[in-house]
Structure 1
Amino acid sequence: MFALDSRLQQDCLLIGDFPLCRLLLMNDANYPWFILVPRRDEVSELFQLDAADQRQLWQETTLLAETRKDTFAADKMNVATLGNVVSQLHMHVIVRRRGDAAWPAPVWGRNPPRPYEEEQVRQLVSKLRLVLTENFEFSGEVA
Structure 2
Amino acid sequence: MSDASFSLDPRLEADTFPVLDLPLATVRLMDDSRFPWLILVPRRPGLAELIELEGDDRAALTAEIDQASRALKTLTGCDKLNVAALGNMVRQLHIHIVARFEVDAAWPGPVWGVGERRTYASPQAMLLVARLRAALGGA
Q: TM-score, normalised by structure 1?
A: 0.90
Equivalent residue for 2:79? 75
| Percent identity for Structure 1 against Structure 2 | 43
Separation (CA, whole Å) in 2 of partners of 1:42 and 1:83: 13
Equivalent residue for 1:32? 36
* SS of equivalent to 2:29: strand
Q: Is there any run of 5+ residues in structure 1 with no aligned partner, and where?
A: 139-143
User: How far has the Cα of 1:117 moved from its partner?
Assistant: 0.5
User: How far has the Cα of 1:129 moved from its partner?
Assistant: 3.4
Separation (CA, whole Å) in 2 of partners of 1:115 and 1:52: 36
Separation (CA, whole Å) in 1 of partners of 2:13 and 2:133: 22
Per-residue Cα deviation, 1:79-107 (whole angstroms, up to 9, x for no partner):
00000010100000000011112111100
Contact 2:101 2:107 in 1 (8 A): yes
Equivalent residue for 1:60? 64
User: How far has the Cα of 1:125 moved from its partner?
Assistant: 2.1
1:130 matched to 2:125: no
Residue type at the aligned position of 1:45: E
Separation (CA, whole Å) in 1 of partners of 2:101 and 2:120: 18
Q: Which 10-residue stretch deviates more, 50-59 or 65-74?
A: 65-74
1:103 matched to 2:107: yes
Q: TM-score, normalised by structure 2?
A: 0.92
Equivalent residue for 1:7? 11
RMSD of aligned C-alpha atoms?
1.2
Separation (CA, whole Å) in 2 of partners of 1:13 and 1:123: 12
User: How far has the Cα of 1:66 moved from its partner?
Assistant: 1.1
Residue type at the aligned position of 1:57: L
Paired residues in the alignment total 135
Which 4+ stretches in 1 moved above 4 angstroms? none
Q: Is there any run of 5+ residues in structure 2 with no aligned partner, and where?
A: none
* SS of equivalent to 2:96: strand
Residue type at the aligned position of 2:28: L
Equivalent residue for 2:88? 84
User: How far has the Cα of 1:19 moved from its partner?
Assistant: 0.4
